Amino acid sequence: MLDFQREKNTVLGYYADLDAAEGQGITDVLNAHTTADYTWRAFHPFHLQSDVETVSELFWQPFKQALTHSQRRMDVFFAGQNFMDDGASTWVCSMGHLMGLFDSPWLGIKPTGKMTMLRYAEFHKIEESKIAETAFYFDIPHFMAQAGVNPFPHQSAAQLVQPGPTTHDALLFADADPVDGQKTMDAMNFMISDLGQWQSELPLEEELARSWHDDMIWWGPTGIGATFTIARYARQHSGPFRAGLSDRSGTGHIARIAEGAFSGFFGWPNFTARNTGGYLGLPPNDKECEFRVIDIYRREGDKLKENWVFIDMLHFFMQQGVDILERARAT
C-alpha cells in the first residue's frame, strides 16, 4: 500500500501557514516550507522563479493586499508517484479557488469591492518534508471576467465560476486504493496517446468517445470556457482548437500523477503549436508558440468524465503580440 501521508501533510501545513500569513510573514512561510533550491513556475506575468523572496514580493504579497479576507476553497487534493520519472518523485496536487474581497488593484485590474475568486491548480514536488518544486497555474482572465473585464470576446463556450467534481469526493486526505489510481493513470495515458497528436482517421466525436464518456464535462479556461457532452466539446473547443492550430509537438510533461479516481499533469511547456488557421479571433501566422497547461481529470469506469484545464492564455496571446493585461489597464 502506497503511503502519501507525509507528503500530503507537508502541503497541508504549508497551506495553513501561507493562508494565515501577511506581508513579510509570507516570505518566512516560504523559507520554512521549501528547499534551498526551490523552483516555482507560474503563469504570465510571473513565469519561472527560483527565489522565495521574489515569489513572495512578486505574487503573494500584492495578491493578498488586493484580495482581502482571502480564503482557500479547495475542491481537489491528491498525491502520486510521478509517471514521468518512473515513480522516483512524489507530487501533491491541489485545485480550487482563492476567494476574497477584491479591494485594491491587482495587475492593473480595477477593484470591485466584491467577492472574487482566483481559480487555481497546483503541483508540489515533496522531498524530505519540504517543497522542492511548485507549479502554480491560475486563471487570471477568469478573475478579470468577475471584475467586469471581458478580455476574450470570441470565447466559444460558457463563462462560469467552476465547481469541483460532481461526486464531491476529491479531497483525498486519506490515501486511496492504489488499484484505483492505476486505473485512472491508465485511462489518462490512453487518452494522451490516443488524442495527443491529432492524427486519428476517425471523425472527431468518434475519436473522443474512445477515451471520454458521452456526457463529459470540460472545465476550460476563460477565453475558451466550459463545455458539456462530447458533441458540444467537439464543436465549442476541440474542433476550433485543431482547426486553428497546427504542427502540435509531443507532450512535455514534468509530472503526471494519479490517486483514486483523480489524476493530472503539467508541463513547461506542455506542447508547442502554430496558429496557422486563426484561433480565438487572432489572425493566422506561422509563429511557434508555447502552451503551459495543467489538466486535472476524474475517471468513471474505464473512461474520463470530467476535466479541469488551466492554460496560460495571457502567455499565448503575448506570443501573438497581444498584451491582454495592458488592454485591461487601458479600460
What residue ranges in the chain does DSSP mark as E strands?
Answer: 34-42, 48-49, 67-81, 90-102, 115-127, 130-138, 212-219, 226-228, 253-259, 262-267, 271-274, 288-291, 293-300, 303-311
Q: Three-state DSSP class for 136?
A: strand
Q: Where in the chain is the domain with CATH 3.10.450.50?
A: 5-146, 178-330
| Residue of 146, 147, 91 whose CA lies nearest to 121 | 91
Q: How many CB atoms lie within 10 A of CB 320?
A: 15
| Residue of 18, 35, 16, 15 whose CA lies nearest to 27 | 18
Query: Distance between alpha carbon 153 and the CA centroid of its chain, in Å?
Result: 22
Of the CA atoms within 13 Å of residue 313, those in its CB half-sphere come to 23
CA–CA dist 222, 144 (Å, integer): 9
* 16: its cell numbers: 495553513
Fold assignment, 5-146: Nuclear Transport Factor 2; Chain: A, (3.10.450)
CB 103 within 8 A of CB 66: yes
What is the DSSP annotation of 280-327? TTPPP---EEEE-EEEEEEEETTEEEEEEEEE-HHHHHHHTT--HHHH
Q: Three-state DSSP class for 145?
A: helix
* pLDDT at position 250: 86
CB 266 within 8 A of CB 137: yes
| Residue of 157, 246, 245, 238 whose CA lies nearest to 202 | 238
Task: Per-residue pLDDT tens, the chain, 331 aa: give them.
Answer: 689 999 999 999 999 999 999 999 999 999 999 999 999 999 999 999 999 999 999 999 999 999 999 999 999 999 999 999 999 999 999 999 999 999 999 999 999 999 999 999 999 999 999 999 999 999 999 999 999 998 888 889 999 999 999 999 999 999 999 999 999 999 999 999 887 566 667 899 999 999 999 999 999 999 999 999 999 999 999 999 999 999 888 889 999 999 999 999 999 999 999 999 998 889 999 999 999 999 999 999 999 999 999 999 999 999 999 999 998 786 6
Q: Three-state DSSP class for 129?
A: coil
The amino acid occupying position 176 is A
* pLDDT at position 199: 65
CB 56 within 8 A of CB 30: yes
pTM here is 0.96
Q: Which CATH number fits domain 178-330: 3.10.450.50, 3.30.420.40, 3.30.428.10, 3.20.20.70?
A: 3.10.450.50
Q: How many helices (H) and strands (E) are present in the chain, helices listed first?
A: 11, 14
* pLDDT at position 196: 59
